[in-house]
């Protein structure tokens, strides 16, 4: 009897360790292009839709997650056919869009820190290390320059912190959800992440009411906080 109970206990302990480990590993497993684009540097000054704001003080952080099927559908077919993430969309469900340092009490998007430094193109070893989490070299480069430079000294520091946040989240199986409504997505995240505050998650839908992005808000010390 005691022996049986002990065996069961060990089995549970083993399963708990194995399963949590496995969940983390799956997020790291994806196909990676053998060859990246030649030029994926980002230069906000050459873009009419971009601006800089180096005066705004970061007060909190927003981890922005993106739902691959909706992102890919938003692109013209010819672009979808070229995008590695879209051609391999079954491997990339919820991915990271970026981590955004946010100003307190911002009255508009321009009040947030943005494009604080111009940085050189990240190397391919670096890009490939984070590819499963953010499957696009242009995105990895541009989020670092646009948002990361406003709070972090190096790209390594920026992406290792994003990786920690992403790995620490229990991402619900969105693909398996019959009805991907805002409420259902929020509830699934709250159920799977008991410490997450309902005020620290925001879900946004596109014009066709399809799941687009999920924002999780943190203090500068990476504690969940009400999204401002």
Which residues in this chain contact ligand NAG in the complex, by CB under 6 A?
52-55, 123, 125-126, 155-156
Q: How far is the CB of 113 from ligand NAG (least distance, A)?
A: 9
Integer Cα distance of 202 and 221 in angstroms: 20
Integer Cα distance of 127 and 60 in angstroms: 26
- Taking residue 169's Cβ as centre, other Cβ atoms within 10 Å add up to 18
Q: How far is the CB of 44 from ligand NAG (least distance, A)?
A: 9
- Residue 11 CA, chain-centre distance (Å), reads 34
Q: Which is nearer to ligand NAG, 85 or 141 (CB)?
A: 141
Q: Which is nearer to ligand NAG, 162 or 217 (CB)?
A: 162
Q: Which is nearer to ligand NAG, 114 or 180 (CB)?
A: 114
Q: Which is nearer to ligand NAG, 132 or 155 (CB)?
A: 155
Q: How far is the CB of 122 from ligand NAG (least distance, A)?
A: 6
User: Could you tell me the CA-to-CA distances from 166 to 34, 98, 161 in Å, in that order?
Assistant: 24, 10, 9
Integer Cα distance of 147 and 21 in angstroms: 30
Q: How far is the CB of 116 from ligand NAG (least distance, A)?
A: 7
Closest to 138 measured CA to CA, from 43, 205, 209:
43
Residue 120 is encoded by which pair of tokens? 């050189």
Whether the CB-CB separation of 95 and 85 falls below 8 Å is answered with: yes
Q: Which is nearer to ligand NAG, 87 or 164 (CB)?
A: 164
Q: Which residue is nearest to ligand NAG (CB)?
A: 54
Closest to 164 measured CA to CA, from 61, 46, 58, 36:
61
Q: How far is the CB of 141 from ligand NAG (least distance, A)?
A: 12
Q: Which is nearer to ligand NAG, 54 or 228 (CB)?
A: 54
CA angle 89, 188, 21 (to 5 degrees): 70
Q: How far is the CB of 45 from ligand NAG (least distance, A)?
A: 6
């Amino acid at each position: 009897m005691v022996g049986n109970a002990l065996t069961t206990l060990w089995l549970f302990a083993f399963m708990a360790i194995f399963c949590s480990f496995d969940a983390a590993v799956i997020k790291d497993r994806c196909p990676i292009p053998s060859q990246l684009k030649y030029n994926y540097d980002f230069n906000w000054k050459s873009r009419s839709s971009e601006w800089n704001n180096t005066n705004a003080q970061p007060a909190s952080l927003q981890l922005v997650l993106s739902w691959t099927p909706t992102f890919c559908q938003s692109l013209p077919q010819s672009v979808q056919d070229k995008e590695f993430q879209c051609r391999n969309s079954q491997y990339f469900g919820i991915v990271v869009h970026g981590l955004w340092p946010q100003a307190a009490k911002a009255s508009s998007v321009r009040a947030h820190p943005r494009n604080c430094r111009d940085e050189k193109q990240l190397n391919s070893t670096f890009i490939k290390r984070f590819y499963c989490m953010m499957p696009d070299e242009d995105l990895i480069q541009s989020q670092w320059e646009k948002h990361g430079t406003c709070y972090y000294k190096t790209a390594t520091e920026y992406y290792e912190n994003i990786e920690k946040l992403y790995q620490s989240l229990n991402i619900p199986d969105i693909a398996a959800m019959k009805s991907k409504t805002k409420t259902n997505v929020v509830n699934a995240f709250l159920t799977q992440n008991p410490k997450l505050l309902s005020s620290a998650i925001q879900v946004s839908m596109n014009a066709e009411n399809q799941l687009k992005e999920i924002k999780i808000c943190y203090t500068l010390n990476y504690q969940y906080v009400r999204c401002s």
